[in-house]
Amino acid sequence: MTQATAPAPAAPARPAPARRDPAARVRLRPGTHFAPVARGVHVSHLRSSFVLAGPPALHQLIDGQLGRLADGTSVDELVAAGGSESARPVLDHLLRTLLDQGVLLDLAALTVGEPDPATAARYADVLAHLEDHSDDPYAVFARLRASTVEISGSGPAVPGLLRGLAAYGIERVRVTGPGAAPDGPVPDLTVLVLDRENDARLAAPAAGSAVIPLLTLDDLAVVAGPGVPGSFAGLPAATARARAWAALEPGAAAPPTMSAVLAGALAARACFEALTGLATPLPEAADGPAPVADQVTGRVAGPARPERDASHHVTLVWGHALESRRLPAPRLHTTTAARWDSPDVAALLADAGPGGAPDALSVFRTAAPLTTRWSGPARLEPDLDLPQIPVSTATARFLDGGSTYLGWGPTRAVAGVDALLAGLRDAATLDALAEHTGPVTTGRTVPCAGATGQLWLLDGLVRLLAPPDTGTEFDWPDVTHPDVQSLWGALLDHFDVPVTLRTEPLPELGGLVATATRATDGAVLGRQWGPGTQSAVHAALVESCARVQTGLLRAPDRATGTGSWVLHALPAPRLATLTARAAELLARPGRDLRAHRLLSDGVLDRLPLVCGLLEWR
């Protein structure tokens, strides 16, 4: 007997698209491009990129109507021009799809009509830009024309700024001298023309007016994104960082007068964007390519790019060739955000995952913001003359302190990360001394850094618990690892540097500390921790080779500091064991360990690698 089954529920019917008036006019946005492809026509515009599926004749149809689409048309007009009522469904579908994808401007939905022909001809480029970016471009243009801009300041930037504002259709402009008392109604926007980044006018410009600072300095010019009065606490740090980069590069300083003129034009563009609300996207955004649909089934599939706050950026003008670039400045308008925090050490160790140390190449990529030109605190040097045998080496120059740090490892990526971590340890120390909101420490404190919070804490513990520079001598017959033999032999045979090795246990945390000294004078060449004897000795010899081959020896005041280079190469079981030992150590009575983490350097919103201080009270 066959049992009857209930019919499957019918899929919900798709709502029929709202019928559009065939006489409603639309216009092609100026930046739209069509190209024939195998499956139809590829349509591209800053709002959308997609393939309109259809036969080869589809491109011919669109190409034949481009003039009418650009001038403004409707389904009725296209049907009448073609002389065939049978084409109506195709033309209706075409216009509806292009309108849904955002490449047509709906003229029937405009709240303000087009300007008169003379005005339209005079500001054709401005109107084309607004038609590309806005659904109600002529209302935006009317608002722009009615806006008032005040220029507070003087200098060669002002004429360029005035010319730029006039070109954008902004004619209600008044110019006041530096520090002049407000006169007249509050403007919609104030441009502050400054010659130093800590000008007091940044804190108290015209009340109620949005502000765009324009800095004309001896070596570069800066135009900051708009903000409210007194909200530019991060501008001096961002400007100082850019100037430090310019000082490193020959030819990076810009001619003051010419850079000011260009900055004036860029400030006019910033005024246009602020008053219209149509900001230009930042270049080289790390959001990936724009999503593309294979076939039109509605809006383009895929995740949309996140909205960016267009006010959090600065535009630099630099170099003899007067180059300019817009850069993100996430802390430009930050006034009270903490630069330091004090995480719970036990919680950080308990939350550590079961895996090993992260891959060196991924850490190197994560650390990229640290060395980004103009905004990063450090520059990885080209190291063209730095020997790379037998150990890969790299140097990083930190801009604020002006110091260069050596890193080493099996690859340049490992060496680069090691150099950056060394610089971050000093950066944390300097920031704690200079920053009035930094941590207050009363116990023994060491700087530390790591790719993760777990490695940061372990690095600090190794440095806190390291024994004095004594221990048992390690002789050649004790060597069991071929890499140790190779490095030790290279120091003696290739570099003619005899080395003495000593090891000392680290009972509280586990492992050993190995110290390599030059036999002729006792100078410390390397001092490193390792989970075992061979690994500790190997790490000390790697550092010794790096320093001997480059000639960058330890500074006298850092001769006894203990490194933890091995931590970032530990496999998962070893790292888990070490973390458990650290947690057990901290759980003992009388152990008060405080962690102080540096979150930001005042320019970057968040440091990509973890650094700070570890304090034993």
The residue ranking higher by pLDDT, 288 or 581, is 581
Identify whether residues 454 and 556 lie together within a single domain: no
Report whether 414 contacts 392 (CB < 8 A): yes
Identify whether residues 418 and 516 lie together within a single domain: no
Within-domain flag for 140: no
In percent, how much of the chain has pLDDT > 90? 55
Identify whether residues 480 and 459 lie together within a single domain: no
Distance CA 190, CA 515 (A): 62
Average pLDDT over residues 181-190: 82
Distance CA 422, CA 335 (A): 29
Range in 203-207, 348-352, 375-379, 536-540 with the lowest mean pLDDT: 203-207
Going by C-alpha positions, the residue among 486, 421, 430, 412 that lies closest to residue 451 is: 421
- Number of domains comprising the chain: 4
Single out the residue in 59, 81, 108 at which a domain terminates: 108
- Is residue 401 scored above 90 in pLDDT? no
pLDDT at 349: 87
The mean pLDDT value of the chain amounts to: 85
Within-domain flag for 298: no
Each residue's pLDDT tens digit, 553-570 = 888 877 778 999 999 999
Complete DSSP assignment for 310-373: TTSEEEEEETTTTEEEEEE-TTTT-SS--SEE---HHHHHHT--SS-SPPHHHHHHHTGGGG-T
pLDDT at 198: 65
Instruction: Give the CATH number, domain containing residue 162.
Output: 3.40.50.720
- Is residue 479 scored above 70 in pLDDT? yes
Going by C-alpha positions, the residue among 468, 453, 405 that lies closest to residue 614 is: 453
Identify whether residues 390 and 249 lie together within a single domain: no
pLDDT at 298: 32
pLDDT at 69: 92
Instruction: Give the CATH number, domain containing residue 74.
Output: 3.90.930.60
The residue ranking higher by pLDDT, 477 or 126, is 126
Report whether 382 contacts 376 (CB < 8 A): no
pLDDT at 19: 65
The token pair at 371 is 């060395």
Ranges 237-251, 308-322, 335-349, 435-449, most confident: 237-251
- Is residue 288 scored above 60 in pLDDT? no
Identify whether residues 542 and 583 lie together within a single domain: no
Residue 179 banded pLDDT, cuts 50, 70, 90: low
Within-domain flag for 130: no
- Is residue 2 scored above 60 in pLDDT? no
Q: 229 preceded by cis ω (within 30°)? A: no
Identify whether residues 365 and 395 lie together within a single domain: yes
Residue 296 banded pLDDT, cuts 50, 70, 90: very low
Identify whether residues 607 and 553 lie together within a single domain: no
pLDDT at 609: 96
Domain that holds residue 455: 340-466+572-616
Identify whether residues 477 and 358 lie together within a single domain: no
Q: Which residues lie across from 401 on neighbouring strands?
A: none
Hey, what long-range contacts does 363-366 have (CB within 8 A, 24 or more apart)? 363/413, 363/417, 363/451, 363/568, 363/609, 364/413, 364/414, 364/416, 364/417, 366/451, 366/608, 366/609
Within-domain flag for 68: yes
The residue ranking higher by pLDDT, 494 or 177, is 494
Residue 183 banded pLDDT, cuts 50, 70, 90: confident
Average pLDDT over residues 48-76: 89
In percent, how much of the chain has pLDDT > 70? 87
- Is residue 205 scored above 60 in pLDDT? no
pLDDT at 556: 80
Residue 177 banded pLDDT, cuts 50, 70, 90: confident
Each residue's pLDDT tens digit, 96-114 = 999 999 999 999 999 999 9
Instruction: Give the CATH number, domain containing residue 550.
Output: 3.30.160.20
Within-domain flag for 550: yes
Distance CA 127, CA 145 (A): 12
The token pair at 98 is 């292009």
Each residue's pLDDT tens digit, 420-445 = 999 999 999 888 777 656 676 777 88
CB neighbour class for 141 (10 Å; exposed up to 12, middle 13-18, buried from 19): buried
Each residue's pLDDT tens digit, 534-558 = 999 999 999 999 999 999 988 887 7
Identify whether residues 371 and 483 lie together within a single domain: no
Q: What is the dihedral of CA 386, 389, 391, 396, to 10 degrees?
A: 10
Identify whether residues 317 and 403 lie together within a single domain: no
Identify whether residues 324 and 373 lie together within a single domain: no
Report whether 472 contacts 442 (CB < 8 A): no
Distance CA 510, CA 472 (A): 16
The token pair at 41 is 């026509």
The token pair at 108 is 């029937």
Within-domain flag for 540: yes
Range in 43-52, 154-163, 386-395, 436-445 with the lowest mean pLDDT: 436-445
pLDDT at 280: 65
- Is residue 310 scored above 60 in pLDDT? no
Identify whether residues 100 and 224 lie together within a single domain: no
Within-domain flag for 224: yes
Within-domain flag for 2: no
pLDDT at 13: 44
72: region left, alpha or beta (phi > 0 left; psi from -120 to 50 alpha): left
The residue ranking higher by pLDDT, 311 or 40, is 40
Single out the residue in 265, 300, 328 at which a domain terminates: 328
pLDDT at 203: 64
480: region left, alpha or beta (phi > 0 left; psi from -120 to 50 alpha): alpha
Which uninterrupted H or E stretch holds 271?
A: helix 256-276
Going by C-alpha positions, the residue among 39, 63, 56, 54 that lies closest to residue 89 is: 54
Range in 2-6, 21-25, 266-270, 284-288 with the lowest mean pLDDT: 284-288
HSE (side-chain half, CA atoms, 13 Å) at 413? 13
Q: Alpha carbon 20 to chain centroid distance?
A: 45
